[in-house]
Amino acid sequence: MSATLKDVAKASGVSIRSVRRALKGMSGVSEETCARVRAVAKELDYVPNIAARNLRLQTSSFVGIIYSANSADAYKRRLYDLIARLNGAGYEPLLSSPPKSFSEVEELVRRWSGITNVIIWMNPAVAILPALAAFQQRFILIEEEFQASNCCCISVDRSIGVAEAVRSLLKAGHRKIVRCGNIPTREAGFLRPFSEPDTPSGAKALFIPSKSSDYEDGYQAGARIMASGADAVFFDVDRMAMGFLRYAHEQKIPVPERIAVVGFDDDNTSVSAAPPLSSVGHPIRRINEKIVELIRNGVPGNTTIAFETMFFLRESSGK
User: Do the domains at 58-157+284-308 and 158-282+313-317 have one common CATH topology?
Assistant: yes
Give the per-residue pLDDT at 113.
Answer: 79
Give the chain's end-to-end CA distance (angstroms, integer): 67
pLDDT at 316: 97
Beta strands in the chain (DSSP E): 62-66, 92-96, 116-122, 138-142, 151-157, 176-181, 204-209, 232-235, 260-264, 278-281, 303-308, 310-312
Domain assignments of the chain as residue spans, ordered by start: 5-48, 58-157+284-308, 158-282+313-317
Report how far Cα 194 is from the mean position of its chain's Cα atoms. Answer: 31
Q: Which is nearest to 283 in space by CA: 305, 299, 261, 300? A: 305
Whole-number pLDDT of residue 69: 77
Q: Output the CATH code of domain 158-282+313-317.
A: 3.40.50.2300
CATH architecture of 58-157+284-308: 3-Layer(aba) Sandwich (3.40)
Per-residue model confidence as pLDDT tens for the chain (319 residues): 567 878 888 999 999 888 878 876 777 788 888 889 888 888 887 766 555 555 454 556 889 999 987 777 888 999 999 999 999 999 999 999 988 888 888 888 888 877 888 999 998 888 888 888 888 889 999 988 889 999 999 999 999 999 999 999 999 999 999 999 999 999 999 999 999 999 999 999 999 999 999 999 999 999 999 999 999 999 999 999 999 999 999 999 999 999 999 999 999 889 899 999 999 999 999 999 999 999 999 999 999 999 999 999 999 998 6
The pLDDT assigned to 57 comes to: 46
DSSP at 89: T
Residues 6+ positions from 151 with CB-CB distance below 8 Å: 129, 132, 133, 138, 139, 140, 141, 301, 302, 303
Query: CA 216, CA 207: separation in Å to the nearest integer?
Result: 18
Q: What are the Cα distances from residue 143, in Å, to 84, 125, 157, 266, 296?
A: 20, 10, 10, 18, 21
**Phi/psi at 196 (nearest 5 deg)?**
-85, 155
Spatial separation of the C-alpha atoms in residues 210 and 159, rounded to whole Å: 20
For position 60, what pLDDT does the model report? 63
